[in-house]
Chains A and B, each alone.
Chain A
């Protein structure tokens, strides 16, 4: 019966062969149907009392396996389920396993047979035979549903202390499964207690399996496991030291999966927790070093370390090590490692953008790779590293990809991303309009309607800078839409775009140079031939009305459309059309007044006093009625129905209101790019303060500040409290390296035009990161192929704004107002290859060069920390704090305040320390790391009250250019007093509280008085114990005002 070595029947063999050879699904179905018939006969129950011979027992098992096969191919084999249940109950393990297997694979969660198996499983769990217990446990993970958990959990819990380690490890996983199914039966606390015991199990395999469970649980509630950190670290250490039996090695890496789990758990526990994180720095560093043995299992551990390092509270040394590893992944030939590299880079780049720079060419390669997974990951990376300089390039790439993809999920994601990137970083309004229009075209109704609203209100209201600019903007939009109108039939355009077009054309069609008003009107009327959405019809008719009014005549086509819609099922549309018809026939002279040109953004004139009611009111008052109290806000300009571009208060205009000025820079800073983003040796046009430096520098002359040590003390960026460490100084730390570097750099770097640029760029290792290499490109242009050049140009477009040295070449420079100052290559000429591939293991030569210089600088400073302290500390607000030893290593040498347990090696990394921290912390208000002290800190300096009076406040108010308005609805702050108190808590001086109008003003200074912030708040009670607070923060620095506004908003929420 058995065929040769493989122990199975001829029938089964024939079946498999037939299926393998079947040409079509139909044929396969026929074969299976036959098989099902055959199995049905064979699976007839055995008559009672007969003990079947061995051979038939084997066959019975085979039938079940065949059943499983039939089922796997997608055919119904439910007739045999009962046989499987029966077999699961068999005393023979041989049958039991098969029975359970078929049941777990085939029975749907609601299947009633599952209940029949509970009893059997219970019995198996109580068995003396380890294998039966295991079978029972295994089956229960697959077969138990939430309502069966109570029947099983007791038995499973007992098994956690079973003698056999196989049983123990399976039991804990089963128990976790039960917890997932029925958390009210197997509670978190119960499982928690068990898990902690099992972690100390004498068998490493059991410990290894419980790590899975711990990770799941730590994800839910990390605090409960924080105390385990030392134990976990010690386990990890022991594994790393090969203390486990050799069995656990995989390709000579000790227990890689356990290491991975442990690191993952650590990353969950260390997230946003400086104290916990500091306990893992060392082990992470060691583990990463040990795991780096050039095989996959090792890389898996390294990668897990990278992920962990980017998640936990940042440490500069580790970040550098992680960046190093990432670069090796990304440069690797293996696609898998590349994938991990890009993923890792995306993780690190958001907070530490400077690390991306060295990989520009590799990233370009990945973007062009035919492998879609890699492409997607790279797009993700691009999105995360967008800044004002590279936004155009990145948006183009995202749109390209969007056009090419059919994957809905990806499409949705990319659409959102393009929107967000365009809103945050748009270099010009014209670009914004163009991009969003393209997005409408590609993604259609996946775009949120608000985006269209925003776009229309932008076009209607303009930027408010000058009328010409606004007109030009409208013209751009109209040209774009007229072109679309001519080229594409409406059926091919998505609704959202049609509506936007209709509205814009209705308002501004007269601006078109290409077509006359009448032509546009005619084209719009044509739309009606396509099947339109009801809402689009309304937009269309509105546009037609307006155009008719503007043209002064009503062409036949237009009249027809209007006439048709007077019979529309949509009452609103019908009424509008009827009204319009009536107007047209009876009083055409009023058309222009009723449908005015370009008035969408204007307030409709309303007799707000309602003077015609005066008589009525008087009478009512005379009759004892209460006088009416005017509500606070009177938005009365929402008359225009769909096209409501008018309600200006409803739109958040800030993201693109004035992109040319501060917004982008602040956004850039907010993303922690400020410091890294300031290119080396940028020649700063006088008066154009750039990014971070602007933040730090006082009103002192920029160059002077950069070069002289003394003035820099003024910035006093490290005057932060030891208690407030986690909120260590973001961009503020930047001047740190700058502070030290210039002293040694002065002579050599006098050529560095903009004082700050030189030193800070060195501090951030410009040259080492290939930025300089790019900077070199123009010189070696002639020797390169056009493709290379193109790629480099793309890379430059991409990495512009991230790295010093990678400012875009003119071809890609965004429109003038946005363009960062063009850089003069100040970094020392380095012979780095244009492809900026950093050598794999040790620090690259060019990097070394610069780093060494830097190091030199630090070396000079390091031996005399006290002195340095004085220099910096003298002018800090809280001098005591400057000398206090920071808890975290991250804050190391830069600041010269570290007790420096660090070996020299640590000193080398420092330039990044500042940056690392920076990046992270400038995000603090955004990511909500939690406010640690109630006082607002800016760049690490606590805000201090500025004691001025109202008159002075008024004077300052005008001179502060950066305004950040926010509003918040609060239940906490409902009275003016609360508001003032909150402001005081934040560190502001309450200047005056004006009870009559419910307004308050406060003032504060940051950075030792170099910057002033003024706050104005107005409370409007909303009833039911809540109030709306409108806060306006003014400052000379938009980053500062923006961040304080956010801070206050959070505080009062």
Chain B
């Protein structure tokens, strides 16, 4: 499975972080990001796109598969279950999808619309599993979602109140019995 996905820029600033294999604390997460960045950024582009066994937080035998696009590193941490070249192409698919969504995607898009980047990614990878690789299918569902979301904006939201929600959720805690 895919343990995590990190997009980080040339200066080590994270642009997207997704942990499919949970890393407990905030600090550990940050140390993973730093470690991944130091390792990845120290390699010239001519080197191969694989790095083995350097993120203890994800367990042994984790391989980093990354691609470097201009100012950004796209890093996928995977276990032995994933295909080395397959993931490289998957990164490409991801980037192509982003490119289509944002029209010439650049680092700024990723910062300003990090939510949308997440949505695109969610269509490709779900819970660490590769969900969809067909780029047109990915784009279609992103489009559908975007449309629905905008439409839904004008809907009246009668359950907006925080206190009401809290009440409701508090009550409902009793509802599921297990």
Hey, which bits of chain A sit against chain B, CB under 8 A? 6, 8, 12-13, 16, 19-20, 45-52, 54, 57-58, 61, 65, 68-69, 72-74, 76, 82-83, 85-86, 89-95, 97-98, 101, 105, 108-109, 115-116, 118-120, 122, 129, 131, 134, 137-138, 141-142, 147-148, 150-151, 166, 169-170, 173-174, 176-177, 205, 208-209, 212-213, 215-216, 219, 247-248, 250, 255-258, 260, 264, 296-297, 299-300, 303-304, 334-336, 338-340, 343, 370-371, 373-374, 376-377, 407, 409-410
Contacts and interface: CB of A to CB of B under 8 A. Distances in A.
B38 interface: no
B148 A299 contact: no
Central interface residue in B83, B114, B115, B150, by most chain A CB within 10 Å? B83
B118 interface: yes
A76 B154 contact: no
A151 B153 contact: no
Contacts of A101: 115, 118-119
Nearest to A377: B52
Contacts of A137: 126
Given A97-B149, A119-B176, A170-B126, A300 B157 contact: no
Contacts of B48: 334-336, 338-339, 371, 373-374
B46 A335 contact: yes
Nearest to B15: A72
30 contacts: A13-B112, A16-B112, A45-B161, A45-B163, A47-B161, A61-B115, A69-B114, A74-B33, A93-B145, A97-B115, A97-B119, A109-B24, A119-B172, A129-B148, A131-B148, A151-B178, A170-B126, A173-B131, A174-B127, A208-B132, A257-B83, A257-B89, A264-B83, A335-B46, A335-B48, A336-B48, A338-B48, A374-B47, A407-B54, A409-B56
Interface string B25-46: 1110110010000000001001
Given A257-B86, A300-B83, A74 B129 contact: no
Contact of B152 (A6, A50, A94, A407): A94
CB-CB nearest 7 A-B residue pairs: A300-B85, A141-B127, A45-B162, A335-B48, A48-B161, A94-B149, A150-B178
A51 B156 contact: yes
Contacts of A142: 127
Contacts of A216: 1, 81
A127 to B, nearest CB: 12
Interface of B: 1, 13-14, 16-18, 22, 24-27, 29-30, 33, 43, 46-54, 56, 60, 81, 83-86, 88-90, 93, 108-109, 111-115, 118-119, 122, 126-127, 129-137, 141, 144-145, 148-150, 152-166, 168-170, 172-173, 175-176, 178
Given A119-B176, A177-B127, A409-B60, A260 B88 contact: no
Given A297-B89, A409-B60, A373 B150 contact: no
Contacts of A377: 52
A303 B86 CA distance: 10
A247 B134 contact: yes
A251 B93 CA distance: 11
Contacts of B24: 108-109
A255 B115 CA distance: 28
B160 A51 contact: yes
B100 to A, nearest CB: 14
Nearest to B172: A119
A184 to B, nearest CB: 12
Contacts of A258: 133
A205 B132 contact: yes
Contacts of B108: 6
Given A209-B129, A300-B89, A247 B137 contact: yes
B53 A409 contact: yes
A205 B137 contact: yes
A138 B153 contact: no
A414 to B, nearest CB: 12
A68 B115 contact: yes
A103 B144 CA distance: 23
B131 A12 contact: no
A93 B141 CA distance: 14
A307 to B, nearest CB: 9
A85 B176 contact: no
Nearest to B87: A300
Central interface residue in A61, A68, A250, by most chain B CB within 10 Å? A250
A177 B118 CA distance: 20
Contact of A122 (B53, B113, B176): B176
B41 to A, nearest CB: 14
A16 B119 contact: no
Contacts of B83: 257, 260, 264, 300, 303-304
A54 B165 contact: no
Given A45-B162, A300-B85, A371 B47 contact: yes
Nearest to B48: A335
Contacts of B165: 85-86, 89
Contacts of B109: 6
B127 A173 contact: yes
Given A46-B162, A108-B24, A119-B176, A51 B131 contact: no
Contacts of A108: 22, 24-25
A373 B50 contact: yes
A144 B131 CA distance: 19
Given A205-B137, A256-B86, A54 B159 contact: no
A212 B51 contact: no
Nearest to A57: B153
A74 B26 contact: yes
Given A52-B160, A257-B86, A371-B47, A147 B178 contact: yes
Contact of A256 (B81, B89, B118): B89
Given A49-B161, A54-B154, A340-B85, A212 B129 contact: yes
Nearest to B89: A297
A212 B47 CA distance: 30
A50 B30 CA distance: 40
A92 B155 contact: yes
B140 to A, nearest CB: 9
A1011 to B, nearest CB: 42
Contacts of B155: 91-92
Given A16-B111, A147-B178, A170-B131, A72 B93 contact: no
A166 B144 CA distance: 12
A340 B84 contact: yes
B159 A8 contact: no
A137 B47 CA distance: 39
Given A97-B119, A212-B129, A257-B130, A76 B26 contact: yes
A266 B7 CA distance: 33
Given A6-B108, A101-B118, A209-B132, A166 B89 contact: no
B127 A209 contact: no
Contacts of B166: 82, 86
A119 B160 contact: no
A343 B52 CA distance: 12
Given A336-B48, A407-B54, A410-B53, A250 B126 contact: no
A115 B145 CA distance: 26
Nearest to A22: B13
Given A296-B89, A303-B83, A371-B47, A65 B134 contact: no
Contacts of A166: 141
A46 B160 contact: yes
A297 B85 contact: yes
Nearest to B164: A48
B14 to A, nearest CB: 5
Given A74-B30, A215-B81, A250-B93, A257 B157 contact: no
A664 B177 CA distance: 66
Contacts of B114: 65, 68-69, 72
Contacts of A297: 85-86, 89
A629 to B, nearest CB: 51
A335 B89 contact: no
A51 B157 contact: yes
B133 A303 contact: no
A311 B141 CA distance: 38
